[in-house]
Structure 1
Amino acid sequence: MIKSIIQKNGFIILDGALATELEKSGCDLNHRLWSAKILAEDPDMIKHVHQLYFEAGADCTITSSYQAVPDGFLQAGFSPEAANKLIQLTFSLAVDARDAFWESYSGTDRPKPFVAASIGPYGAYLADGSEYRGGYGLTKEELMAFHRPRIDLLIRAGADFFACETLPSLLEAEALASLLADYPGVRAWFSFSCKDGAHISDGTPIETCAAMLDKADAAEAVGINCTPIVYAEELIRRIRQTTAKPVVVYPNSGEEYDASTNQWYGDSSVASFQERAEAWIDRGAGLIGGCCRTGPDEIRQLEALRRRQQSETNRP
């Protein structure tokens, strides 16, 4: 699926940050459930954010299930039944937003958008910033057992494509690749949080991660997300040396997150987003979007870039 869209359109435009837009709308995400908290409080707001990104030009939206796992909801006081329904709601909200947009879309120059069901790392459930560190002290089998219930629920809701994202460790990627092999026909992209231009958060070289996933049938694309924007170009180059699979890249703004204060600090690099994205495409990126602290403006820049490239390609 991914390769055919890239061949037709040059690159796939992903969405930007969900939580950033929710906060801009006044939602309080200061909770261990983070954006998943809004599923119970104001699900229409999540649907609205998905629609904003489709209108901005996104070919794909990522569901609000990043931090939505059964144990997290149970610890927040929800019943098992309510927890399961909320996890499945993440998918239906995204699909409903996509279908409403597509019904009203009058253009002919883009594919029907698709939905990627988010599978955040174990560290997101811990809500202590460890998705940027890794090293949970769990075995591969324990990580598989943790991720399986959410994947089961999302598949039952209709998901057949996943975004295994912000992965800080090779072990967790191995666990998810092995787990998805149990579901014939289900595919995913795998994207890592990285601490520099060469290593993922646990210190593993990005080439090692790409080489492992190059052999995983469930992995349709490999890349990075929620990584400072300044590292993206070099990380793409290294990934392309190891795999021919499409490269996915959706970095954060370049600011740094302090889990102890739930605050972002430092300077943003999104002012040059379109220019940087063009360099990522030249390096071999096939799926491009934004993560934390990015929004519809950055997605509109990607849509403008694609229109310009298509115009240049079609010029006599």
Structure 2
Amino acid sequence: MHGGGPFSKEAAEGVQPLNPFERFQHRQGVTVLDGGLATSLEALGYDLADDLWSAKVLLEDPDVIQRVHSDFLQAGADCITAGTYQASIQGFIARGVVKERAVEVLGRAVGLAVEARDAFWSNAENRNQRLRPLVAASVGPYGAYQADGSEYTGAYGLSDDELLDFHGGRWRVLAESGADLMGCETVPSLQEAEVLLELLCRTSDQWAWMSFTCRDGSHLSDGTPLAAAAKMCDAGSRVAAVGINCTPPEHVSELISVIRNATDKPIIAYPNAGGRYDAERKTWKGDVSRHDWPALAAEWRDRGASVIGGCCRVAPADISRMRGRLLSSDQP
């Protein structure tokens, strides 16, 4: 068994844990996440050059999203993330969808992931040497709704109350959707993290991870020291993990070390494949072939991460190779 971390003795003894990641840590030392949903859809031929990005497919062809979830489960993901990252009530309304339908689509997005997980788990062969996978409801940043790349800058120009208004309606829907936890991801600023933590505090019996985008090896996208953000998250009693996502892989090891010095909470790491996001064309630029994902995943685990996967342009095959390395019995 690899890794360690802030998990309870009760979980090790078989009592149902509170933090959803605990049972994976005690059984296998790590939780393997999925990879990039949207870029997997693009690999299947879907054009996501749209303000709704992957949420467009929720309206047009939701069954294919369930197929991608299934692909990641078969690849070894212990946790799949519902396709709600760029899905917001405001975004759907701007597309001409009435509010009631927007709420329905948000709930259905989580339902697709739950159904994929349940179908996977109903096959006895899939239960061999596996734990029942988790479903996370993705809570994307305000910048994802803006569709202008501001999730990589945090330059919103909004007050705390305005951010609360934006996130609040979707948060309530997702908190009641049947997901095992919430995934607050691609958060670029301390301000937005504070707002999301406030919503978490208002929600009973709900867990969430908090994952930031970073500009370098020590700062959030808005320039805030990552250490300050991690310390703030450390005070949240139902923060399941703190970490980074959709950040170039070359920064991740240093960022993990910064987080470990600021909190004892589990660390989550799921970077993109590098390159640059072209907000105007809604697509990624740059090479993805140079990364040794198994070696990187092992390095991040050794640095202290215990929840590991990928983000944009990380495919099911990459997740499979990561899992093979992370759970290998002959790891040094």
Match of 1:143 among 163, 170, 182: 163
Aligned residues: 312
Corresponding position of 1:242: 262
Q: Structure 2: how far apart are the matches of 1:240 and 1:278?
A: 16
Shift of 1:144: 1.6
When residues 222 and 269 of structure 1 are mapped into structure 2, their CA distance, relative to the original with a 3 A threshold, is farther
State the identity %. 47
Flag the 1:292–1:123 CA change in 2: closer, same or farther, 3 A: same
Contact 2:274 2:288 in 1 (8 A): yes
The 3-state SS of whatever aligns with 2:47 is coil
Counterpart in the other structure of 1:129: 149
Matched, 1:9 2:28: yes
Structure 1 unaligned regions, length at least 5: none
- Alignment partner of 2:135 out of 115, 129, 153: 115
Contact 2:75 2:319 (C-alpha < 8 Å) held by counterparts: yes
Contact 1:9 1:110 in 2 (8 A): no
SS of the residue 1:34 aligns to: coil
Q: TM-score, normalised by structure 2?
A: 0.91
In structure 2, the partner of 1:95 is 114
Aligned twin of 2:249 = 229
Once residues 186 and 195 of structure 2 are traced to their aligned partners in structure 1, the CA distance between those partners, rounded to angstroms, is 14
Aligned to 2:293: 273
Secondary structure in structure 1 of the residue aligned to 2:245: strand
**Residues 1:216 and 2:236 aligned together:** yes
Residue 5 (structure 2) aligns with: none
Q: Distance in 1 between matches of 2:289 and 2:187?
A: 22
Deviation at 1:187, TM superposition (A): 0.6
Asked if structure 2 preserves the Cα contact closer than 8 Å seen for 1:270 and 1:298, the reply is no
CA distance in 1, matches of 2:89, 2:197: 21
Task: Supply the distance in 2 between the matched residues of 1:49 and 1:79 (Cα, whole angstroms).
Answer: 27
Partner-residue secondary structure (3-state), 1:252: coil
Q: CA deviation at 1:155?
A: 2.3
Structure 1 outlier segments of 4+, above 4 Å = none
Gaps of 5+ in 2: 1-19
Match of residue 172 from structure 1: 192
Helix, strand or coil: the match of 2:77? coil
Partners of 1:185 and 1:13 lie apart in 2 by 23
Contact 1:254 1:269 in 2 (8 A): no
Task: Note if contact 1:3-1:246 (Cα within 8 Å) is conserved in structure 2.
Answer: no
Q: Measure, in 1, the Cα distance between the counterparts of 2:219 and 2:124.
A: 41
Q: TM-score, normalised by structure 1?
A: 0.96
Name the structure where helix makes up a greater proportion of residues: 1
Counterpart-to-counterpart distance in 2, 1:144 and 1:159: 21
